[in-house]
Amino acid sequence: MKIAPKMLKVIALAAVITMVAVACDLQKTANQISARSVVVATLLATPGVTIKPEAIAGLDASIPSFDAGGITIDGGFPINLADAGLPIPAQNVVLVFFGQRQGDNLDTPPMGVGGAKVTLQQVGGAAYTLNEQGSGNYLLTGDDAGFRYTSNATYQFSVVSAGETYVAEVAQVPPEERILAFESQKGFIDQPANQPLTFVRPEPAPGARLNLGFVNVFPIDATGKQSPMPSYTNVPTTPLQFLKLVADTVGLQTEYRAQSVTIPATAFPEPNKNYIILFQSAKTGGPKSDNLFSGSAIIAGTAAVGIVKTR
């Protein structure tokens, strides 16, 4: 078959464009591998939930005043039972660590860099500035300028430091996973204290794999106030642990992608107590600009909420 000279020119031009694009990608990848600056970012959201009166530990839903009027429960907190329980508001929290790598492996923690301007932006939407917390850490909550997590959106994290801009991105953040074990007719899980709890995650779409799954369990008091310290968590707590999680696609990531999840008995130590389970389905992202380390860990997701009442 004979190819016309004009077609040969078109093919040659396409080949040149392809080679240039590949060369640019390879150069960008090489730059990211050797980059010293690193970003570790987490964007985690929790929907609002209301704890039904009958789910509140220490409250007998069979008492005559259950349907009307107010009574006093645990610790003297007055509640109007006609109000359908205790509301726990939605939470949207963004944490960013910006630092410099101190070596070429993941055994040495990066050193935090302060004084940067850090913003989060939903692509096509408003940008929100994070507040510096010290040691290279920056924070944004939903109370700051009304930020809210949006499922399937793409988010970019921008850091401006010493006149240079660093950009990381996570695309199409996941929606909440529906955990059937959290959706009993009672509206809560009733179980003895010091007993483990196992639940099953929904099947992923055909050809896909489960997102990363993180568990936090917090005791809550009769006012709906959450303890600042979890009774159980499997969430990494340092930038280095997050970097290792993203790098370990076989070990840690397999553990966090398990379909059957067991929360140990130690998460529910006290009888006649409420605990809130936050199961966060999360996706990973990475650097977008070529001056940011290729192993930068960007994690975003939203939580399903379960309420436990121990006896």
The greatest distance separating any two alpha carbons of the chain, rounded to the nearest whole angstrom, comes to 93
| 3-state SS, residue 60 | coil
Taken in order 184, 189, 190, 196, the sign of the CA dihedral is positive
Residue 2 has a pLDDT of 57
Contact 7, 263 (CB under 8 A): no
Burial class (CB in 10 A: 0-12, 13-18, 19+), 171: middle
Contact 275, 231 (CB under 8 A): yes
Residue 181 has a pLDDT of 94
pTM for the full model? 0.82
Contact 45, 305 (CB under 8 A): no
Q: Which residues contact 247 (CB under 8 A, 6 or more apart)?
A: 106, 295
Q: Digits of tens for pLDDT over the chain (311 positions)?
A: 555 665 545 555 555 544 444 445 778 888 999 899 999 999 999 988 888 888 887 654 443 332 323 333 333 444 454 455 778 888 899 999 999 999 887 889 999 999 999 999 999 899 999 999 999 999 999 777 788 999 999 999 999 999 999 999 999 999 999 999 998 888 899 999 999 999 999 999 898 899 999 999 999 876 667 778 999 999 999 999 999 998 887 777 888 999 999 999 999 999 999 999 999 999 999 999 999 999 999 999 999 999 999 99
Measure the CA–CA gap between 66 and 54, rounded to whole angstroms: 9
Tokens of 80: 């109007």
Taken in order 83, 85, 86, 90, the sign of the CA dihedral is negative
Residue 7 has a pLDDT of 56
Measure the CA–CA gap between 88 and 303, rounded to whole angstroms: 14
Residue 127 has a pLDDT of 93
Q: Which residues contact 192 (CB under 8 A, 6 or more apart)?
A: 271, 310, 311
For 15, 172, 227, 257, the CA distances from 218, given in Å and listed in that order, are 57, 28, 6, 22
Measure the CA–CA gap between 226 and 91, rounded to whole angstroms: 12
**Cross-strand bridge partners of residue 80:** 70
Measure the CA–CA gap between 67 and 12, rounded to whole angstroms: 80
Measure the CA–CA gap between 276 and 31, rounded to whole angstroms: 44
Q: Which of 269, 231, 237 is nearest to 95 (CA)?
A: 237
